């Protein structure tokens, strides 16, 4: 299997690969969604089992994160003095949305309704101005600029936990995992009950392979907020990584109940069913995920595998063709389709698909996977 910013970013997604012949073998998301994801910045590259033609790979679960937080209401902050116009401050009601964004798409939360004030050259911004500009920069992908602006905010208001949270996410998306963890920890020092900071820090820990720390954070997030679909989803990913499939199933089921219009939880629960060998239930969940997101390439990849294992060759081939139509860089769809082509006696087509998969792994810098595929190709010649 192959990070919602839903990693508080589609954010963060963990990707787990489950070998269909050995369901206890895993490959760690982020899918980011374009590998096999779950939500916000993409997680580290999954560790994949050897994609030999005798085995089949499928995209893994996705790890989610919360997105950037708009400037909270003035009443919540108690910071009316930072506004240049007290009357405007009294009437301003910005949403403190919990909307999450998927890692792969990075469709961050909507910008705050309060626009950033125009700044005269040489004139310093107010806290409000720095916050809004940082929010805008973060949503446009200027993470360095966002980090600088949120640093100005906390210099003015040292106990502004949302500013630390946003700076942490900007660092995370910018590749500074250690800095992100430090800022999420600072967020929690200022506000120990801020559940989304536990979700995002846990996702970064999960990205780094620190399962114990990640599990503790997701447990705490759920303790603080049992309505957090992201926390249940991500804890399910850890349970998958620990081969606790029944626990993962329970967590994904709760996540699905809390987010009835989100395809991710259905996709991940389908992966749990696959790991348990319950392919009919897995197909049902992949169908559900695709009804919510008809362009969900990974769901086609994994549903194709379930069909193949059930002996439904035509449906398997159709699903892998669709998966590649939506995501031509899905290496696992190529290896799976190659397996089917080989079974059908079409060696030329199988070799072509395996070479495509090898090229994708090489371009990603996934040397071990590239080497495994190349060994398989040599064995086929």
pLDDT at 16 over 90: no
- Hey, what domains does the chain have and what are their CATH numbers? 69-99+107-192 (1.25.40.10)
Mean pLDDT of 208-234: 94
Among 291, 380, 294, 302, CA closest to 341: 380
Cα separation, 147 vs 59, whole angstroms: 33
What is the DSSP code (8-state) at residue 53?
T
How many angstroms separate the Cα of 192 from the Cα of each of 60, 197, 205, 330? 32, 9, 18, 40
pLDDT at 31 over 50: no
pLDDT at 209 over 80: yes
pLDDT at 153 over 90: yes
pLDDT at 229 over 90: yes
Query: What does the longest C-alpha to C-alpha distance in the chain come to?
Result: 77
CB under 8 Å to 295, separation ≥6 — which residues?
326
Mean pLDDT of 276-299: 96
Mean pLDDT of 81-108: 26
Give the pLDDT of residue 26: 26
SS3 of residue 37 by DSSP: coil
Among 191, 268, 192, CA closest to 229: 268
User: Do residues 254 and 266 lie in contact, with contact meaning Cβ atoms separated by under 8 Å?
Assistant: no
Where does the pLDDT of residue 363 fall: very low under 50, low under 70, confident under 90, or very high at 90 and above?
A: very high
Give the pLDDT of residue 316: 96
Percent of the chain surpassing pLDDT 90: 63
Burial 312-346 (b: 16+ CB within 10 A, else e): eeebbbebbebbbebbebbbbbbbbbbbbbbeeee
pLDDT at 1 over 70: no
- Look at 127 and 93; give whichever has higher pLDDT: 127
End-to-end CA distance of the chain: 28
163 CB-contact burial (10 Å; exposed 0-12 / middle 13-18 / buried 19+): buried
Give the pLDDT of residue 61: 53
User: Do residues 376 and 52 lie in contact, with contact meaning Cβ atoms separated by under 8 Å?
Assistant: yes
Give the pLDDT of residue 67: 65
pTM: 0.71
Provide the sign of the torsion angle of the four alpha carbons 359, 364, 365, 371, taken in this order: negative
- Look at 136 and 17; give whichever has higher pLDDT: 136
Give the pLDDT of residue 280: 96
CB under 8 Å to 191, separation ≥6 — which residues?
161, 197
pLDDT at 68 over 80: no
Give the pLDDT of residue 37: 28
Model confidence over 318-337: pLDDT tens digits? Answer: 999 999 999 999 999 999 99
Mean pLDDT of 259-287: 95
pLDDT at 361 over 90: yes
pLDDT at 53 over 90: no
Alpha helices (H) along 157-278: 161-173, 177-190, 195-207, 211-224, 229-241, 245-258, 263-276
How many angstroms separate the Cα of 44 from the Cα of each of 55, 190, 203? 23, 29, 11
Give the pLDDT of residue 63: 58
What average pLDDT is seen over the chain? 74
The continuous run of DSSP H or E covering 87 comes out as helix 86-91
pLDDT at 82 over 50: no
Give the pLDDT of residue 255: 95
Give the pLDDT of residue 207: 87
Cα separation, 315 vs 300, whole angstroms: 10
The continuous run of DSSP H or E covering 148 comes out as helix 143-156
Give the pLDDT of residue 169: 93
Give the pLDDT of residue 147: 96
Mean pLDDT of 141-155: 94
* Lowest-pLDDT choice from 125-129, 171-175, 341-345: 125-129
- Look at 212 and 115; give whichever has higher pLDDT: 212
């Amino acid at each position: 299997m192959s990070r919602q910013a839903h990693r508080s970013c589609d954010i963060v997604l963990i990707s787990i690969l489950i070998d269909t012949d050995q369901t206890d073998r895993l490959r760690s998301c982020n899918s980011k969604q374009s590998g096999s994801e779950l939500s916000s910045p993409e997680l580290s590259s999954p560790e994949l089992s050897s994609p030999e033609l005798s085995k089949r790979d499928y995209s893994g679960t996705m790890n989610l994160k919360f997105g950037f937080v708009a400037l909270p209401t003035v009443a919540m902050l108690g910071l009316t003095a930072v506004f240049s116009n007290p009357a405007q401050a009294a009437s301003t009601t910005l949403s403190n949305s919990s909307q999450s964004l998927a890692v792969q798409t990075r469709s961050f939360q909507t910008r705050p309704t309060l626009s950033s004030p125009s700044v005269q050259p040489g004139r310093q911004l107010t806290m409000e101005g720095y916050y809004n500009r940082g929010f805008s920069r973060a949503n446009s992908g200027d993470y360095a600029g966002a980090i600088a602006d949120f640093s100005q905010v906390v210099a003015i208001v040292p106990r502004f936990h949302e500013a630390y949270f946003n700076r942490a996410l900007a660092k995370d998306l910018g590749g500074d995992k250690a800095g992100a963890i430090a800022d999420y920890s600072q967020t929690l020092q200022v506000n120990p009950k801020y559940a989304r900071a536990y979700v995002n820090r846990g996702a970064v820990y999960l990205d780094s392979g620190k399962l114990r720390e990640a599990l503790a954070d997701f447990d705490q997030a759920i303790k603080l907020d049992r309505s957090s679909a992201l926390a249940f989803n991500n804890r399910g990913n850890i349970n998958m990584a620990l081969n606790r499939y029944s626990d993962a199933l329970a967590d994904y089921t709760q996540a699905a109940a809390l987010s009835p219009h989100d395809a991710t939880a259905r996709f991940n629960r389908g992966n749990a069913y696959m790991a348990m060998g319950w392919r009919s239930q897995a197909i049902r969940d992949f169908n559900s995920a695709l009804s919510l997101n008809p362009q969900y390439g990974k769901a086609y990849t994994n549903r194709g595998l379930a069909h193949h294992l059930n002996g439904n060759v035509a449906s398997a081939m159709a699903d892998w063709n669709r998966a590649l139509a939506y995501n031509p860089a899905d290496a696992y769809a190529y290896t799976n389709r190659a397996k089917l082509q080989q079974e059908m006696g079409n060696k030329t087509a199988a070799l072509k698909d395996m070479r495509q998969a090898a090229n994708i792994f090489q371009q990603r810098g996934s040397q071990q996977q590239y080497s495994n595929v190349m060994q398989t190709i040599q064995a086929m010649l």
